Amino acid sequence: MNKVLFTFLITVLASSLFAQKEYTVRGFIYNSDNGEAASYAKVLLKPVIGQSSDNIKGSTTDLDGFFQFNAVKAGDFIVEVRSIEYMNIIDTIEVGQKEVLTLRYELVKSDEVKEIEEVSILGEDQSKRNKIDMSVNKLDQESLERLPSFGAENDILAAFSVTPGVVSTGDQGGQLYVRGGTPIQNKILLDGMTIYNPFHSIGFFSVFETELIKSADIYTGGFASNYGGRISSIMDITYRDGDLKKHGGLVSVSPFMGKAVLEGPVFKNKNAPGSGGSYIFSAKHSLLNYTSKDLYPYANDGDGLPFTFTDIYGKFTIKSPEGSKFSAFGFSNNDAVNYTNVADLNWQSYGGGINFTLVPTSNPVIIKGHLNASNYEIFFQEKAGQAPRTSKINGFDLGFDFIYFLKNQSEITYGINIGGFSTNFKTFNEVNREIKIENFNTELSGYFNYRLVTGRWVVNPGIRLQAYPSVSTVVPEPRLGLKFNATENFRLKMSGGYYSQNFTSSSSDRDVVTLFYGFLSAPTNVQSNFTQANGKETQPENGIQTAWHGIFGFEYDISRPFTVNVEGYYKYFPKLSNINNNKLYDDIQENANIADVYKKDFLIESGVSYGIDVLLEYKKNRLFLWGVYSYGKSDRWDGFNTYAPVFDRRHNVNLVATYSFLKDKSLEISARWNFGSGLPFTPTSGYYQGENFGDGVTTDYTTSNPADLSVLLGDLNSARLPTYHRFDITIKKKFEFKNKNVLELKGGVTNIYNRDNIFYVNRVTNDKIYQLPFLPSIGLSFDF
List all residues 6 or more positions away from 697 whose beta carbon is below 8 Å from its beta carbon: none
| Res. 119 pLDDT band, cuts 50 70 90 | very low
- Is residue 519 scored above 60 in pLDDT? yes
Residue 665 shares a structural domain with residue 696: no
Give the range among 250-264, 289-303, 435-449 with minimum mean pLDDT.
Answer: 289-303
pLDDT tens string 438-457:
888 899 999 999 999 988 99
| Res. 152 pLDDT band, cuts 50 70 90 | low
pLDDT of the residue at 159 = 80
Over residues 382-386, the mean pLDDT reads 62
CA distance 80 to 181: 45
- In a domain, residue 331? The reply is yes
CA distance 782 to 287: 18
pLDDT of the residue at 590 = 83
| Res. 336 pLDDT band, cuts 50 70 90 | confident
pLDDT of the residue at 17 = 42
Mean pLDDT (the chain) is 84
| Res. 225 pLDDT band, cuts 50 70 90 | very high
Residue 695 shares a structural domain with residue 750: no
- In a domain, residue 39? The reply is yes
pLDDT of the residue at 705 = 59
- Is residue 376 scored above 80 in pLDDT? yes
Residue 696 shares a structural domain with residue 676: no
- In a domain, residue 10? The reply is no
pLDDT of the residue at 414 = 97
- In a domain, residue 12? The reply is no
Closest CA to 638 of 571, 692, 712, 583: 583
Higher pLDDT, 318 or 407: 318
- Is residue 671 scored above 70 in pLDDT? yes
Higher pLDDT, 237 or 299: 237
Q: Which of 712, 729, 758 is the last residue of a domain?
A: 712
**Total domains in the fold of the chain:** 3
Residue 635 shares a structural domain with residue 771: yes
Residue 319 shares a structural domain with residue 230: yes
Q: Exposure pattern of 349-370 as b/e (b: 16+ CB <10 Å)?
A: bebbbebbbbbeeeebebbbbb
- In a domain, residue 13? The reply is no
Most confident of 92-106, 153-167, 249-263, 500-514: 249-263
Over residues 162-166, the mean pLDDT reads 90
Residue 100 shares a structural domain with residue 207: no
- Is residue 463 scored above 50 in pLDDT? yes
Most confident of 92-101, 145-154, 403-412, 484-493: 484-493
Are 539 and 527 spatial neighbours (Cβ–Cβ below 8 Å)?
no
Show the domain range for 70.
21-123
Higher pLDDT, 585 or 198: 198
pLDDT of the residue at 625 = 94
Residue 757 shares a structural domain with residue 698: no
- Is residue 620 scored above 70 in pLDDT? yes
Higher pLDDT, 36 or 435: 36
Residue 186 shares a structural domain with residue 93: no
pLDDT of the residue at 301 = 64
Over residues 551-566, the mean pLDDT reads 94
Closest CA to 501 of 135, 136, 184, 179: 184
Task: Report percent pLDDT > 90 for the chain.
Answer: 40
- In a domain, residue 130? The reply is no
Residue 112 shares a structural domain with residue 180: no
For 555, other C-beta atoms within 10 Å of its C-beta total: 20
- Is residue 468 scored above 70 in pLDDT? yes
Q: Which helix (H) or strand (E) holds 116?
A: helix 116-130
Are 26 and 364 spatial neighbours (Cβ–Cβ below 8 Å)?
yes
| Res. 309 pLDDT band, cuts 50 70 90 | very high
| Res. 655 pLDDT band, cuts 50 70 90 | very high
pLDDT tens string 189-210:
999 999 988 888 776 788 999 8
Residue 101 shares a structural domain with residue 164: no
Q: Which of 99, 123, 147 is the last residue of a domain?
A: 123
pLDDT of the residue at 277 = 95
- In a domain, residue 9? The reply is no
CA distance 323 to 320: 5
Over residues 715-737, the mean pLDDT reads 89
Q: Which of 123, 144, 163 is the last residue of a domain?
A: 123
Burial class (CB in 10 A: 0-12, 13-18, 19+), 631: middle
Over residues 292-311, the mean pLDDT reads 75
- In a domain, residue 15? The reply is no
Higher pLDDT, 712 or 340: 712
Are 481 and 493 spatial neighbours (Cβ–Cβ below 8 Å)?
yes
Concatenated DSSP letters for 598-665?
GT-SEEEEEEEEEEEEEEEEEEETTEEEEEEEEEEEEEEE-SS-EE--TT--SEEEEEEEEEEESTT-
Residue 697 shares a structural domain with residue 748: no
| Res. 646 pLDDT band, cuts 50 70 90 | confident
Supply the CATH number for residue 503's domain: 2.40.170.20
Residue 152 shares a structural domain with residue 47: no
- Where are the alpha helices (H) located in 131-204, listed in sequence order? 141-146, 156-161
| Res. 230 pLDDT band, cuts 50 70 90 | very high
Supply the CATH number for residue 109's domain: 2.60.40.10
Over residues 96-100, the mean pLDDT reads 86
